[in-house]
Structure formats: C-alpha cells, structure tokens
Amino acid sequence: MTDQPQPPPPPVQHPANWYPDPWGQHEHRYYDGQQWTEHVASHGRQSVSPPPGHPGHVPVVNRTTEKVQHDVTRAGVTAGMATGGGHLMNEPVLVVNQKAKLIELNNEYAVYDQQGNQLGAVRQVGQNMLKKAVRLLSSYDQFLTHKLQVVDMGGNVLLALTRPAKFVKSRIIVKDGAGRPVGEIVQQNAIGKIRFAMESGGVTHGSINGENWRAWNFNIQDAQGNEIARITKTWEGLAKTMFTTADNYVVQIHRPLPEPLRSLVVASALSVDTALKQDQRGLG
C-alpha cells in the first residue's frame, strides 16, 4: 500500500469490491473497504499496480472562457436562463470540447458549464499499445471495444461507459461511479437519420434522434416523445476541422430528470462522439 495522498474512496455504503479505477490507468481497481489497493484489472485480466500519489488524469483543453461562451451562443442557448448546482451531473448546459490532436490515440474531452468553468472530463481507459497501433495504422479501431470514464475535476469517476466491439450498430453500457449498472444506449438503425434507445432494466426510458444524415445534431426525448435535451455541434472553422480530430458541441438539458434517465442523458451526450465518430469513417 502507499502512504501518499489518495482520492476520496467510494461512498461508505459500498463494501470491499472492484470499482472503476479512479486514476484511469486501468479499467478496475480493488477497494478493500478502507482504501484503494494495488490490485487492478483490465480486459478481464488481473495485475498489480500501486495507487499513484496524485489524482487521476483529468483531460483539459486549451480553450478560453470566451470561446466556450461563444459555443453556447452559437448553439442558440441564452446563457444564464437556466442554472444548476455547479456539478457535471446537475448542470442544465454542458459544453464538450475534444482535445485537438493531429493523431488521436485516446479520446479526451473537457466538459464545461455555460460560463466556461470546467466541471470535469471524459477520458478513455484501457488503450494498450496494440490498440493504439491499430488506431494509428488503420480504421479497424472503429470495431474494437472502447471504454470511457466521466470524471469530475478531482478525477473521481462519475460514470463508466463501455462500447463493446461492434460491426454495424453501436451499444454503450453505462455504469455509475461505483460500478453499478445504470442502463444501455442502443443504436436502432444504421441507415438514414441515426437513432438510439436509452434502456434500463428492460424498460425504454427515451431516445436520442439524429436530425440530419451526418447525425451531429440530436434531440433527446423521453418515453412519451417529449424533448428533454438537445445536442448541437459547433463549427470550429475549416482549418481545424480538416486537420485535427477536435469536435465541440453543446448539450442542453431542458428540465431536471429522475434517475436513471438523467445519467443516461448525460452518458448519451458525453459518449455520442465515441459511439458515432469511429463510424464516420465507414459511413463516409
């Protein structure tokens, strides 16, 4: 065990068990009921890796407050019309900015509120050297399993997202920060305006609906067909769009939502780029 500072443990009601690794180095790390241990697991294989002496990596994007606020305006949102509690899981407007890279080997996104304050991030985990090489040298990576963690600014895991290996349609498995199942986001079609269902416990709680063929703007509806949220891609300019992998979009959540719908909506908004972006190479 390490005597160095560690991030907050899972809530006290959670017993000793495997949980998403709060440092993002592995998929899971064993918590013994009092502290994080050196026992880790990725891709179903266990190993030993001592806990680092600092919080997990929280991706940041070199994006000014003014640019984030401009994204909000371009998405048609009036800043300040709706306010939240200052936490990634309860803010009504989220601005998602991907870290611009000429070559993208790991998906990394910063998540801001409408005023430009970073609330957390999305980081990819479980990318070993072989998977990075596959992504670098081919487009086959789009068919492989992808694992993401939604984290706050302390590196604490809020949601763990897994997109299993796929051929045509995507499916994203959503778990909470303690590794408990929340639900699934399931792609319904592969041709035309793309659509996903949000499911939990055998019940469909809503849908994510692409509004154009390229499927970069979405409306999110509850089970009754009422729009409860919206995802709007913002334009970064021709040069950046052509020569880097950066994508930026704004998420509007129109009203407070009960669980599991709220977590599924946030998971949908923060993983839609991963669910679809790999596919764009195939959709052309």
Closest CA to 60 of 4, 5, 116: 116
Q: Are 107 and 124 contacting, i.e. CB atoms less than 8 angstroms apart?
A: yes
Mean pLDDT across 31-57? 83
Task: Give the Cα separation of 199 and 237 in Å (integer).
Answer: 36
Same domain, 130 and 265: yes
Mean pLDDT across 166-179? 86
pLDDT tens-digit map of 70-117 = 999 999 988 777 888 899 999 999 999 987 654 444 678 999 999 999
Same domain, 79 and 116: yes
Same domain, 87 and 213: yes
Same domain, 71 and 149: yes
Output the domain CATH number for residue 90.
2.40.160.200
Most confident of 77-81, 151-155, 181-185, 239-243: 181-185
Which pLDDT score is estimated for 104? 46
Q: Are 121 and 110 contacting, i.e. CB atoms less than 8 angstroms apart?
A: yes
Examine residue 181 and say whether the peptide bond preceding it is cis (omega within 30 degrees of 0).
no
Residue 126 lies in a domain: yes
Q: What is the DSSP string of 116-183?
A: S-EEEEEEEE---HHHHHHHHH-SGGGGS-EEEEEEETT--EEEEEEE---SSS-EEEEEETTS-EEE
Same domain, 1 and 86: no
Same domain, 105 and 195: yes
Most confident of 54-63, 122-131, 171-180: 171-180
pTM above 0.85, yes or no: no
Among 55, 76, 100, give the residue marking a domain's end.
Answer: 55
Among 55, 75, 98, give the residue marking a domain's end.
Answer: 55
Residue 255 lies in a domain: yes
Residue 56 to residues 12, 161, 227: CA-CA distances in angstroms? 20, 17, 35
What count of other Cβ atoms lies within 10 Å of the Cβ of residue 85?
Answer: 9
Same domain, 39 and 111: no
The mean pLDDT of the chain is 80
Same domain, 88 and 32: no
What count of other Cβ atoms lies within 10 Å of the Cβ of residue 221?
Answer: 17
Same domain, 29 and 150: no
Closest CA to 96 of 126, 75, 125, 81: 75
Q: What residues contact 157, with CB distance under 8 A and at least 6 apart?
A: 19, 20, 21, 22, 24, 149, 150, 151, 177
Task: Give the Cα separation of 58 and 74 in Å (integer).
Answer: 26
Same domain, 18 and 83: no
Q: What residues contact 129, with CB distance under 8 A and at least 6 apart?
A: none
Residue 273 lies in a domain: yes
Residue 88 to residues 21, 83, 167, 200, 263: CA-CA distances in angstroms? 19, 12, 32, 21, 11
Same domain, 79 and 209: yes
pLDDT tens-digit map of 207-251 = 999 987 665 789 999 999 999 999 998 865 544 443 334 578 999
Same domain, 95 and 217: yes
Among 26, 55, 84, give the residue marking a domain's end.
Answer: 55
Which pLDDT score is estimated for 254? 95
Residue 60 lies in a domain: no
Which pLDDT score is estimated for 5? 46
The total number of structural domains in the chain stands at 2
Range of the domain at 262: 65-283
Query: Nearest 5°: phi and psi at 84?
Result: -125, -160
- For residue 176, give the amino acid letter: D
